[in-house]
Amino acid sequence: MLFVDECVFTPRSLLRKIWSTNSEETILYKKKTSFKAVAVLGAISVEGELVAYVLREGSIQLDDLKKMANKIKSKYKRRRVVMFLDNLPLHHTKAFKEHTSAYKQQLVFNAGYSSELNPIERLWALAKRSFGR
């Protein structure tokens, strides 16, 4: 089983803290960054291994999902793979379902508003905390 999800990094999620030199702890935020948003689509195994990922400026598109399915196919060859996904409408498209079924990849969808059940969410939380420092 693989846990698949996307995460978007925006300049707002990467605000840098700058402490003032006076005795009060004032926090100012430096907002200048050179990008608008970067999306990451990732898949981790039950063991927590990062199996595959796709990066894109902006947001994840259908081609990115297909690219992820292709990477998973090349890693697992003929073995059957179950992918646990959230309910993003893109995950439910006929084109994506057909693409994954051709590779013998089964899609299992998380219950609505239950992102805490998908372990890859912890990876995204850690990445945002670490990257924003």
Name the average pLDDT for the chain.
Answer: 85
DSSP bridge partners of 2: 45, 83
Least confident span in 9-18, 91-100, 118-127:
9-18
Taking residues 88-102, report their average pLDDT. Answer: 96
Provide the pLDDT for residue 41. Answer: 97
| pLDDT band with cut points at 50, 70 and 90 for residue 66 | very high
What dotted CATH number matches 2-131?
A: 3.30.420.10
First to last CA, the chain: 32
Provide the pLDDT for residue 99. Answer: 96
Q: Domain residues of the chain, as ranges?
A: 2-131
Answer with the residue of higher pLDDT: 104 or 20. 104
Q: What are phi and psi of 26, to 5 degrees?
A: -95, 135
